[in-house]
Amino acid sequence: MSWDDGSHAKVKKVQLTFDDIIHSIQVTYEGALQSQLRGSVGPKSAEFTLDADEYVTALSAYGKTLSTQEVITALTFTTNKRTLGPYGNKTGFQISAPEATGKQISGFLGTSGNVLNSIDVHYAPVPTPGTTPSVPVKKLEAKGGETGAVWDDGHHDDVKKVYVGQGQDGVAAVKFEYMNGSVVVIGIEHGKSTMLGFEELELESGEYITSVEGTYDKIFGTDSAVVTMLIFKTSKNKTAGPFGLEGSTRFEFKQEGFKIAGFHGRAGDSVNAIGVYLAPLGTIPLTPATQKLPGFGSEGGTLWDDGAFDGVRKVSVGQAQDGIGAVQFVYDKASQVVVGNEHGKTTLLGFEELELDYPSEYITAVEGTYDTVFGSDSPVVTMLRFKTNKRTSSPFGMEAGTSFVLKEEGHKIVGFHGRASDLLHKFGVHVLPISN
């Protein structure tokens, strides 16, 4: 299972269990925010707590293939004062997150099951001595089941409106409207609404969501748990809900001094999981803000959304006989390479690629076409062409059907979303203002 603690003001404490491999890691960040246990408890344990003026500067890890999975065998942490570790057994291949001038390691991400399978890091600027570090937005892990397509609305200045669609056994769909400055951002539907429609919570000016409570459960006809009930509480002592039906496992997203600033999760025919972004109160609006431009195509396939990043490093497009079979993107986030998931299904024709000269080159527009093809119940994307501030790519696929352009003047494209099955049914983008 993949996980991401997000980026924080600094790392405060690290707890590990291990023997010849790393069984688990759990990290406490500035603000007393403790991550979940990543992995499961092993036979040996170790922990360390950093001083107030100490921060992690580098991470060294070893990994190897054990049976059918990759595992992390050892970890060594370097701070601005000392070296901690190695923990585990330094065997296999070495990977590292090196020191970066003026940067600290501010959070961890990776994959884990019964053991730690992979690990990566977030970087952030080193706090200026004698000042209180700013508190960044926090992304709390989604609660619920592990099936359904990942969706992520990102974080915004405020939540303006909440829509919850109820189904027979729980929450069928959710949709949100946000505010970035004076701009209203209308999110897309996650899940599949029913004839019962949506119930709504509209927030007043200056009002914000303080907590989200809910339950999830495994219901008849589902392979894993789905969200069955949601309750929203606001700064004006209003409670909206419960929406849905009480389930077996409860969760709550709340932290003093923070407000809910965005949502993410997993969804298919219902809402499988939901998580939140927490933004500190009393901060200036989050600028510049990303915008999510609606996609073009059809409602076939399954919803996917990579979210918004700092930029795009590489585009891979897999062509099929009658349209675009699959897409995959490599992004940049805080100088870290982020490889996105494959959306769609590749064929024997493989991928064609466009590699950007990042960071000086960025995508300014995407042109394309969509059409109904033989064997597809709904239209699919048949061609994509990417324009950057330096060049225009060759068309991927065959131009046929209805044309579209995804572009916002003065913005660059920093993420993608859409719908896909064996072919790409819909394609949209996230954009960010271009810095001068």
**Residues 148 and 274 placed together within one structural domain of the fold:** yes
Domain around 235:
138-280
Q: Does 155 share its domain with 116?
A: no
Question: Tens digits of per-residue pLDDT, 351-367?
Answer: 899 999 998 999 999 99
- Residues 6+ away with beta carbon under 8 Å from 7: 106, 107, 122, 123, 124, 136, 334
Overall domain count for the chain: 3
Structure tokens that stand for 160 in this block? 């303006």
The stretch 295-304 carries a mean pLDDT of: 88
For the chain, give the longest Cα–Cα distance. Answer: 66
**36 compared with 149, residue with greater pLDDT:** 149
Looking at the domain assignment, is residue 72 inside a domain? yes
Q: Which of 412, 130, 403, 171 is nearest to 288 (CA)?
A: 412
Burial of 238 (0-12, 13-18, 19+ CB in 10 A): middle
Q: Are 15 and 22 in contact (CB under 8 A)?
A: no
- Sequential DSSP letters for 296-357: EE-S-SEEEE----SEEEEEEEEE-SSSEEEEEEEEEETTEEEEPPPEE---TT-EEEEE--
The reply to whether 265 and 352 lie within a common domain is no
pLDDT at 269 over 80: yes
285 within domain boundaries: no
Provide the percentage of residues in the chain whose pLDDT is more than 90: 46
Last residue of a domain, one of 102, 125, 148: 125
Six-digit token string for 269: 């025919």
Is 336 inside a domain boundary?
Answer: yes
Q: Are residues 15 and 52 in the same domain?
A: yes
pLDDT at 254 over 70: yes
- Assess if residue 361 is contained within a domain: yes
Q: What is the mean pLDDT of residues 148-174?
A: 88
Residues 413, 383 share a domain: yes
Task: Give me the pLDDT at residue 132, please.
Answer: 47
Residue 132 lies in a domain: no
- Examine the domain organization and report whether 316 and 263 are in the same domain: no
Spatial separation of the C-alpha atoms in residues 298 and 303, rounded to whole Å: 11
Question: Is 275's pLDDT higher than 90?
Answer: yes
In this structure, the answer to whether residues 146 and 169 fall within a common structural domain is yes
The single-letter code of the amino acid at 329 is F
Is the domain of 275 the same as that of 298?
no
Helices (H) and strands (E) in the chain, counts: 0, 39
Asked, for residue 329, whether it belongs to a domain, the answer is yes
Q: pTM for this structure?
A: 0.42
- Contacts (Cβ under 8 Å, ≥6 apart) of 416: 306, 327, 329, 340, 427, 428, 429, 430
52, part of any domain: yes
256 and 311 both lie in a single domain: no
HSE-CB for 176 with a 13 A CA cutoff: 23
Q: Of the given ranges (90-99, 276-285, 378-387), which has the lowest mean pLDDT?
A: 276-285
Rounded Cα distance between 322 and 436, Å, is 41
Judgement on whether residues 267 and 237 belong to the same structural domain of the protein: yes
- pLDDT tens, 67-84? 888 999 999 999 999 999
Pick the closest to residue 318 from 213, 256, 396, 377 (CA basis). Answer: 396
Q: Which residues, including other chains, have CB under 8 Å from residue 101's CB and lie 6 or more apart?
A: none
Residue 288 has pLDDT above 50, yes or no: no
Is residue 289's pLDDT more than 70? no
Q: Are residues 61 and 172 in the same domain?
A: no
299 and 373 assigned to the same domain: yes
The C-alpha atoms of residue 166 and residue 198 are separated, in whole angstroms, by 7
pLDDT in tens, 98-135: 888 888 998 898 898 889 999 999 888 887 655 445 55
Q: Is residue 133 part of a domain?
A: no
Chain length of the chain: 436
Residue 117 to residue 156: CA distance in whole angstroms: 32
Residue 389 in this model has a pLDDT that exceeds 60: yes
Q: Does pLDDT of 7 surpass 90?
A: no
Residues 6+ apart with CB under 8 A from 65: 71, 92
- DSSP assignments along 147-208, one per residue: -SEEEE----SEEEEEEEEE-SSSEEEEEEEEEETTEEEEPPPEE---TT-EEEEEPPTT--
CATH of residue 215's domain is 2.100.10.30
For 271, the token pair is 């809402």
> Is the pLDDT confidence value at 136 over 80?
no
d(C-alpha 260, C-alpha 237), whole Å: 15
Give the chain's mean pLDDT: 87
**End-to-end distance of the chain based on CA atoms, in angstroms?**
39
| Residue ending a domain, choose from 240, 258, 280 | 280
Which domain-ending residue is among 98, 125, 152?
125
